[in-house]
Amino acid sequence: MDQSSRDEALAIVAHELRNELNVLASWAVLLKRTPLDVEHLHQAAAVMDRATEIALRLCDDLRVLAADGEPAFLPTRLDLREVVTAGVAAAEPRARRKRVRVVQQVGTGPVWVLGDRVRLGEVVSNLLGNALAFTGPGDTITVEVAERHGHARLVVADTGEGIGAAFLPRVFDKFTQEPRQHSQGRGLGLYVVRTLVELHKGSVEVESGGHALGTRFVVTLASAAA
């Protein structure tokens, strides 16, 4: 791996590790401030277990990169709905704080794909994080998973700030952000989404009617249905 590729990979892993640490911190704050029933305590434990597992995997990635190797890609046949449900649960404290409603539509049957569970979890986390960054009180984020015409499709749509037409072609570029009121971070999240989706030989598209008209991301992956 050349130095440029290694630096890029390090930036991505550091970005993703920070995401998981933010999940752990958000749930820790929620546990300290809000009385939770047994069901929600179990949910909190599951989310924090998952975030810890991913963070440890990312630490392994850092170790591999330090030795001039490449992070592992471990595809298995999995139900995309499970990855999405875990991602939505992880984002719950942040959505609560912002008073944003998250609606999950995953159907009743499995949506099989061949993918790396951790990497696909990063895709979901980044799409939800982006949606939460540009929505506010009263807005809605809708997350849909379905199988269509031999493909698995993940849709994350929001009713938030939207994206200007001039910026849409650049939305997946590295270190690029449209100047908006709530812009945060380094402009890596959507670049990570595209990189990881393409690693799965899939595609991702974005649609927006413009400012204040919301945004819709569509990820398409090959179905692994039997």
The total of other beta-carbon atoms located within 10 Å of residue 11's CB is 16
- Tokens, residue 155: 């849709």
As a whole number of angstroms, the distance between CA 158 and CA 142 comes to 6
Q: What is the pTM of this model?
A: 0.81
For residue 56, what is the domain's CATH number?
3.30.565.10
As a whole number of angstroms, the distance between CA 220 and CA 201 comes to 9
> Over the stretch 24-77, which tens digit does the pLDDT of each residue have?
998 888 888 888 888 888 888 988 988 898 888 889 888 777 777 888 899 999
pLDDT of 213 over the 70 cut? yes
Per-residue DSSP letters for 82-139?
HHHHHHHHHHHHHHHHHT-EEEEE--SS--EEEE-HHHHHHHHHHHHHHHHHT--TT-
Give CA 130 to chain center in angstroms: 8
Which domain range does residue 208 map to? 3-222
152 three-class SS: strand
Q: Which residue has the tokens 């008209």?
A: 213
Output the CA torsion 211→208→136→127 (10° steps). -140
Q: Please count the structural domains in the chain.
A: 1
> Over the stretch 170-210, which tens digit does the pLDDT of each residue have?
999 876 767 654 455 556 789 889 999 999 999 999 999 99
> Over the stretch 135-177, which tens digit does the pLDDT of each residue have?
999 999 999 999 988 999 999 999 999 999 989 999 998 767 6
Give CA 159 to chain center in angstroms: 17
Q: Which residue has the tokens 């998952």?
A: 50
Most trustworthy range by pLDDT among 200-204, 210-214, 222-226: 200-204
- Tokens, residue 62: 């850092």
